[in-house]
Amino acid sequence: MKTKLSVNINKIATLRNARGGNYPDVIEFARLAQDYGADGITIHPRPDERHIRYADAKALRSVVYTEFNIEGNPIPKFIDLVLSVKPEQVTLVPDDPNQLTSDHGWDTIKHKDYLIDVISEFKNNGIRTSIFVDPDLKMVEGALATGTDRIELYTESYASEYAKGHKDIVKRFAESAKLAHELGLGINAGHDLNLDNIRFFKENVPYLDEVSIGHALVVESLIYGMQNVIGMYQNKLKD
């Protein structure tokens, strides 16, 4: 199974916002990423709009011809945005408004009823749902009860331990993916994946539908060029 690559363009928006104006243009970068071979575009708008803005999400809808994935904490403003834009996928992330970046998955048992309500609203509008979870079998089991279509494995711990040479960490992710598959859930993954660690993850974590990569891909593109980097990822994600 080919694992799809969704390119997160938040960091492109961060560069734009650092200088004001519209350079670099996130809409043009979304077009380029797809033309270069990306299977989808991911954005993660936050309430303070410090990178991707809500207006960007609406503008991107008309240019994303692959798969549009919008991530975020399902506060009312975010829910309204997603229902307005109608991306192919929404990924629910338990972010605190002041968080620098995502740093944990959902407690799918504690927040079960809340997630059921939010997920049902998205699914009733024809939007595939995914929820951020840590590689914890109890949290994966809990995800099934929420009604979600997929889980997204939060891979920061994998990336951190892999960089230290502790590759056995991948077993936790493999076990979580196997259980999710047995339960009928799709499997996505993301956070701190890069050109160095993605192939090992792909080789050892089965049933991987999609990875979302942003920060590392943009940094690597400064060195190798975005077209080359997207091709490099696609090569590493092949079976």
- Pick the catalytic residue from 44, 152, 210, 220: 44
pLDDT of residue 201: 98
Decide if 156 is catalytic: no
- Pick the catalytic residue from 67, 191, 210, 220: 191
pLDDT of residue 1: 74
Decide if 191 is catalytic: yes
E strand or H helix that includes residue 129: strand 128-133
- Pick the catalytic residue from 51, 67, 71, 152: 71
- Express each pLDDT in 60-86 by its tens digit: 999 999 999 999 999 999 999 999 999
Convert 197-227 to b/e letters by CB count within 10 Å (16 or more is b): bbeebbeebeebbbbbbbbbbbebbeeeebe
Query: Domain containing 73: what range?
Result: 4-236
Decide if 203 is catalytic: no
Assign residue 59 the CATH number of its domain.
Answer: 3.20.20.70
pLDDT of residue 29: 97
Total domain count, the chain? 1
Q: Is the pTM of this model over 0.75?
A: yes
Q: 237 with 2: CB under 8 angstroms?
A: yes
pLDDT of residue 103: 61
Structure tokens at 203: 């080789």
Question: Rounded distance, CA 55 to CA 42, Å?
Answer: 15
- Express each pLDDT in 192-236 by its tens digit: 999 999 999 999 999 999 999 999 999 999 999 999 999 999 999
